[in-house]
Structure 1
Amino acid sequence: MSRVPLIPESAPFTAEQRAWLNGFLAGLISRGENQSVPLPPTAEIAKRSLLIAFGSQSGNAESLAKRLAREAASRGFTARAAGLDSLQPSDLIREQNVLLITSTWGEGDMPDNAISFWDNINQNGSSPKLDGVKYSVLALGDKNYGETFCLAGKKIDARLAELGATRVTERVDCDVEFDELAKTWSSTALSALETGKEISVTVVAAVPPAKEIEEKGYSKKNPFPAPLIANIALNASGSSKDTRHIAFSLAGSGLNYEVGDALGVYVKNCPEVVDAIISAHSLDPQAEAALPDGGTAFLRDALISNYEVRHLHGITPNQLLNTADFVTSLRKLQPRLYSIASSIKAHPEEVHLCVGAVRYDVHGVQHKGVASTFLADRLALSETTGIFFHVAKHFRLPADLSKPVIMVGPGTGIAPFRAFLEEREATGATGKNWLFFGDQRRTTDFLYHDQIIEWVQKGLLTRLDTAFSRDQEEKIYVQTRMLTAAAEMWQWLEEGAHFYVCGDAKRMAKDVDAALHEIIQTAGGRSAEEASAYVADMKKNKRYQRDVY
């Protein structure tokens, strides 16, 4: 007659832990003892399962999720981090404990890897109820986007509650400076999960508190002072644009990067703009001002190097502000991320950018893009500024060098595709390459013209389609060229081509996405629903990747 286990197989223990407990408890019961069980100090049992899901476009949410998984493991959880594109609602039900981190993309959109998950939980009547699931959401965003700030996280948080899941702690919405808020949220959420789940046997292992992994070498917190080695105008005379090829030296840094990554650049505000703001508010440029990370500096120096002032230039002066109140109202000046425009295999110890200088007038007041004009106008050759690399795992060339690649990058969106093509050339990739490039006029705005034409002549670029919108009466854009080439594009997609888009998120990326769906319907003979499923499958298999802003 077999003995019925005292600890069921469904309990959160390993087979060895369950066997030990069954034997130990059986011995106590056979002796008629009824007392607390002193478990061995080395037994790490009764670990709670924890799913840390992330929706990430540029990599921040993914990095936070993986860091949180390490912290949770140190606190006794069996934790795993997973992209939302790999999850179904049923995964949340199975895991029970869920912490979700997501960014917001464009004008309140879901990041690419969260779209399919959102569709699955947002379909009324088809999504399963999530009763019993305990969760919390960390939303990443940028307050400059106003009403759409952290909208993706807000939507997911509300929908999970509608489906019956229980918040263990309230959602936290983070601006671009998110580290401290993220730490507070994660600590609170883990504590809530620890105390909120009842289990019959609990073992608290002696675990040291979670520690930050020390970053070695250069990083965002310790940027490399990179000398500027090139600042070359890419537009010809007569263009209405000012696009620059910017290059930094990496010599002596030990830094490396992959094509598809972004470069973080520490920038400074224009001194003329800062002087105008100080004058408008009748402030003393030599007044002592607190710095965001501690310490003090003269007000003028602090505004140039440490605070965001772009929204203050031209506003109605407020004579009542004192220096302390004025500085308190400002946000910390953030580094800017740029798509890398080079392959380190083609340019050892260098990193290149393609930057469009932003300058415009509003009611007679000249405005300047902080970072773009810093790079174009104010950083002199051989001078240094802090840089770091931002890994973008969501934007990678196929590992299989024989796979075809389709790239759509108008304007400065050409940046990562110049890097892709340099990489494909350096690695001897045999897959076909197709580039869609557009701008205003062929004669003045064909960025990297000579290099691109040389790639066509060599055969590296199998096909090049250009769209110069102002060279004819009717506006022609990259999506126009895509539709014209629908039959061949469908053939490439069916051959397993990877499809990439870089550039403006608000209009271009949406128009290109609509054109892709239309091509699948018309050339592929699919219904609208089948086309959406085809695109979703491309995203899931990393064959449709976007670097949009």
Structure 2
Amino acid sequence: MTVQTPTPLAQIVPESAPFSEEQRSWLNGFFAGLLSLDNAGVTALSPAQNAAMMEQAEDDGAPWHDPSMPMTERLQLAEGKPLPRRLYAAMAQQDCGQCGYVCETYSAAIASGAEGRLNLCAPGGKETLRQVKALMEEPGASAPAAPIEAAPAAELGPKGRCRENPALATFLSRRKLNGAGSEKETWHVEFDLSESGLDYVVGDAFGIVARNDPRLVDAVIALLGARPDAEIGGKPLRDRLMEDCALGPAPDALFQLISYVTGGEARAKARRLAAGEDPDGDIDRLDVLGTLHKFSQARLSAEAFVEALDPLQPRLYSISSSHNATPGRITLTVDTVRYKIGTRPRWGVASTFLAERVEPGDKVPVYVQRAHGFGLPADPATPIIMCGPGTGVAPFRAFLHDRQATKAPGRNWLFFGHQRRACDFFYEDELQAMKEAGILTNLTLAWSRDAGEKVYVQDRMRERGGEVWAWLEQGAHFYVCGDAKRMAKDVERALVDVVAEHGGRSSEEAIAYVASLRKAGRYQADVY
């Protein structure tokens, strides 16, 4: 079997850049080594290769596969394991599919040499990238014993079915879901898929290839001191930064570049930042714009600057509609990310793109990411329990619409919660209508900011524990969607408590019972 050889990169630092021949040679070598991680010619494994990777995985139970577990603990659990398992522990453990794999097969693909890009784990971010790079620099890591044959560069996945080959969908509309007085900004977003040829099943995710905010791009160009129309890689600089480059947390490569073109204290600080240190206690402020401001004395060529940035990653959203109910259309439920660090506003790239920048009729590059072990039971008569606070309701709205459209006889129970009932009860009218029509057997609500003590979905689960246990014993599948670090873990603990109390089991037995549900595919999570 052979391993795909990455396409050689062109000279990155132009001869016109203000460097000596020795400096230019060093920079070209540095970026060629570092930025080959982003070589777009290597694609993710096909579904068959993904399955083959999974079959080859070591059967060690992967005790670190928990998105709420800190990186240090995950690596300790994987200590002494073969390289693919330690790489696996370094991933974000969310199995979100944004990288084109799941955590386990992405790790195996890197270790085998089938995947050269080390920076695809978006949820893991810089922490995962640094650890993966460190593991791959260990002796022997570059010579895997059993390489997997990579897909040829010319063979992209089917159009609209992978991040490397998106299709175009038409943006139709957005509708705000919050009422007056809400602290949130959440949108019901709709696309027309009729010209894209795409379909999907409930549980799948929808990839959006968004563009950066022009205000941020223009501010970056101003601080860089470059011309917006300067051609970089066949595109004007402004277009490259808008469409291709991540402008969030500054990558280590940018700090490395700054350390090379500055001197004295600035060089020392840039080197420390590139090594993961925080010399001035301001690392949370150092996105790309903040870094240019901090190191304003650095004179960076536009070409080297662009090559030092990470690629702009697509964003995945849980689909909140059913193809069986509304063929040719797809909807998302999107929280708009806006916050401040110091006095500077920050914006989520894709969420603000969907909330304010894309207009009805615009064509947007998109793809459908097939779900990895998250979907309705094969038997439509199987009862389901769904926990989805906030935007976590998205896939469960899809489940309910699908079961309604297909007249599935299985009972449905939704736990939904948010801050305030008066302004944060997403899809209230349609959920209440489903309850009245008998589609929703139970609709259990939790509000954390209404008068009185805070109540969350896990509290409601414990209150209705006897019924939850009865449904599980009758074969129900249990689902949770939402925040991986806290909410999903709290829901799992509540489920263990329910099993212990109402199933008459010890804590250890209750944990084993929930683990058996997960192994049987009856406990499924869509977390982020």
Contact kept in structure 2, 1:354 and 1:412, CA below 8 Å: yes
CA-CA distance at 1:273 after TM superposition = 1.1
In structure 1, the partner of 2:225 is: 282
**2:395 and 2:452 mapped to 1: Cα distance?**
30
Contact kept in structure 1, 2:169 and 2:195, CA below 8 Å: no
Q: CA RMSD in A?
A: 4.0
For 1:538, the aligned partner's letter is L
Q: Map 1:107-506; keep pairs closer than 5 Å.
A: 108=70, 139=88, 141=91, 174-176=118-120, 192-193=145-146, 211=152, 215-219=157-161, 220-289=163-232, 295-310=233-248, 311-315=287-291, 316-320=294-298, 321-506=300-485
In structure 2, the partner of 1:66 is: 48
Q: CA, structure 1 residues 283+265, in 2 after alignment: closer, same or farther (shift >3 Å)? A: same
**1:494 and 1:442 mapped to 2: Cα distance?**
32
Contact kept in structure 1, 2:387 and 2:414, CA below 8 Å: yes
**1:168 and 1:256 mapped to 2: Cα distance?**
33
For 2:289, the aligned partner's letter is H
Q: CA, structure 1 residues 177+508, in 2 after alignment: closer, same or farther (shift >3 Å)? A: closer
Q: Map 1:59-98; keep pairs closer than 5 Å.
A: 66-67=48-49, 81-82=54-55, 88-89=59-60
CA-CA distance at 1:222 after TM superposition = 2.5
Contact kept in structure 1, 2:45 and 2:151, CA below 8 Å: no
**1:525 and 1:425 mapped to 2: Cα distance?**
35
- Deviations along 1:32-80, one digit per CA (max 9) or x if unpaired, are xxxxxxxxxxxxxxxxxxxxxxxxxxxxx995683267xxxxxxxxx67
Contact kept in structure 1, 2:386 and 2:413, CA below 8 Å: yes
Stretches of structure 2 lacking an aligned partner (at least 5 in a row): 1-42, 94-102, 123-131, 249-286
For 1:288, the aligned partner's letter is E
SS in 1 for 2:422: helix
**2:191 and 2:115 mapped to 1: Cα distance?**
40
Q: Say which structure, 1 or 2, has more relative contact order (CA 8 Å, 6+ apart).
A: 2
For 1:192, the aligned partner's letter is A
For 2:245, the aligned partner's letter is Y
Contact kept in structure 2, 1:137 and 1:171, CA below 8 Å: no
Q: CA, structure 1 residues 531+62, in 2 after alignment: closer, same or farther (shift >3 Å)? A: farther
CA-CA distance at 1:224 after TM superposition = 1.5
**2:525 and 2:44 mapped to 1: Cα distance?**
16
CA-CA distance at 1:282 after TM superposition = 2.9
SS in 2 for 1:466: strand
SS in 1 for 2:385: strand
**1:214 and 1:300 mapped to 2: Cα distance?**
27
CA-CA distance at 1:298 after TM superposition = 1.9
- TM-score w.r.t. the length of structure 1 is 0.67
- Off by >6 Å, runs of 4+ in structure 1: 133-137, 167-173, 188-191
SS in 1 for 2:345: strand
Q: CA, structure 1 residues 498+390, in 2 after alignment: closer, same or farther (shift >3 Å)? A: same
CA-CA distance at 1:138 after TM superposition = 5.3
Say which structure is richer in strand.
1
For 2:213, the aligned partner's letter is C
CA-CA distance at 1:254 after TM superposition = 2.0
CA-CA distance at 1:470 after TM superposition = 0.7
- Deviations along 1:101-120, one digit per CA (max 9) or x if unpaired, are x988455579xxxx9xx99x
Stretches of structure 1 lacking an aligned partner (at least 5 in a row): 1-60, 70-78, 91-99, 144-151, 158-166, 195-207, 290-294
In structure 2, the partner of 1:44 is: none
For 1:515, the aligned partner's letter is A
Moved more, 319-328 or 440-449: 319-328
For 1:337, the aligned partner's letter is L
CA-CA distance at 1:415 after TM superposition = 0.4
Q: CA, structure 1 residues 507+210, in 2 after alignment: closer, same or farther (shift >3 Å)? A: closer
Contact kept in structure 2, 1:138 and 1:172, CA below 8 Å: no
**1:228 and 1:446 mapped to 2: Cα distance?**
25
**2:485 and 2:295 mapped to 1: Cα distance?**
33
CA-CA distance at 1:89 after TM superposition = 4.8
**1:386 and 1:406 mapped to 2: Cα distance?**
34
SS in 2 for 1:353: strand
- Deviations along 1:329-352, one digit per CA (max 9) or x if unpaired, are 210001100000000111110111
Q: CA, structure 1 residues 385+477, in 2 after alignment: closer, same or farther (shift >3 Å)? A: same
**1:471 and 1:538 mapped to 2: Cα distance?**
34
CA-CA distance at 1:137 after TM superposition = 6.4
CA-CA distance at 1:318 after TM superposition = 2.4
**1:296 and 1:275 mapped to 2: Cα distance?**
19
Contact kept in structure 1, 2:112 and 2:144, CA below 8 Å: no
Q: CA, structure 1 residues 66+136, in 2 after alignment: closer, same or farther (shift >3 Å)? A: farther
Contact kept in structure 2, 1:138 and 1:173, CA below 8 Å: no
SS in 2 for 1:313: helix
Contact kept in structure 2, 1:281 and 1:317, CA below 8 Å: no
CA-CA distance at 1:472 after TM superposition = 1.7
**1:137 and 1:404 mapped to 2: Cα distance?**
38
For 2:49, the aligned partner's letter is R
Contact kept in structure 1, 2:211 and 2:350, CA below 8 Å: yes
CA-CA distance at 1:445 after TM superposition = 0.6
Q: CA, structure 1 residues 482+173, in 2 after alignment: closer, same or farther (shift >3 Å)? A: farther
**2:407 and 2:56 mapped to 1: Cα distance?**
31
**2:394 and 2:205 mapped to 1: Cα distance?**
10
**1:307 and 1:535 mapped to 2: Cα distance?**
42
CA-CA distance at 1:225 after TM superposition = 1.3
Q: CA, structure 1 residues 210+223, in 2 after alignment: closer, same or farther (shift >3 Å)? A: closer
Contact kept in structure 1, 2:320 and 2:395, CA below 8 Å: yes
**2:344 and 2:484 mapped to 1: Cα distance?**
27
For 2:243, the aligned partner's letter is S
For 1:176, the aligned partner's letter is L
Q: CA, structure 1 residues 210+426, in 2 after alignment: closer, same or farther (shift >3 Å)? A: closer
**1:492 and 1:368 mapped to 2: Cα distance?**
42
**2:180 and 2:400 mapped to 1: Cα distance?**
27
Q: Rg bigger for which structure?
A: 1
- TM-score w.r.t. the length of structure 2 is 0.70
SS in 2 for 1:326: helix
